């Protein structure tokens, strides 16, 4: 069974989604990106999405710390390690969301 993580980096953070189906993980990452709309223009923009099959790993994290961009806990060994798998970069345009009202 496959297990994809899709990550959109933005500012000092990220928006991500994880699912057994690549397109579902991408859709989740795009939906999560909307949380950044108070800081960035995220509606109707093209974004690069980093997609990796992380089957066999849990507790995945993305960042430049500890010598690797994508890390996770290997389900077979229980050890945290770099996930050295190809990163597919997919470009998508976000929906034209309406701005949320400020409280």
Q: Give pLDDT tens digits along the chain (103 positions).
A: 789 999 998 888 889 999 999 999 999 999 999 999 888 989 999 999 999 999 999 998 887 555 558 899 999 999 999 999 998 999 999 999 876 666 5
Q: Where are the domains of the chain?
A: 4-93
Cβ(94)–Cβ(42) below 8 Å: yes
| Number of C-beta neighbours around residue 83 at 10 A | 22
Residue 58 · residue 72 · CB < 8 Å = yes
* pTM, rounded to two decimals: 0.86
7 vs 3: CA distance, rounded Å? 13
Task: Answer yes or no: are the C-beta atoms of 32 and 49 closer than 8 Å.
Answer: no
């Amino acid at each position: 069974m496959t297990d994809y993580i899709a990550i959109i980096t933005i500012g000092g953070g990220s928006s991500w989604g994880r699912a057994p189906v690549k397109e579902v993980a991408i859709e989740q990452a795009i939906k999560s990106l909307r949380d950044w709309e108070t800081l960035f223009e995220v509606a109707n923009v093209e974004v690069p999405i980093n997609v990796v099959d992380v089957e066999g790993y849990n507790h995945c994290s993305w960042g430049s710390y500890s010598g690797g961009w994508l890390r996770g806990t290997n389900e077979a060994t229980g050890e945290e390690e770099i996930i050295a798998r190809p990163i597919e970069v997919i470009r998508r345009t976000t929906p034209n969301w309406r701005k949320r009202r400020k409280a």
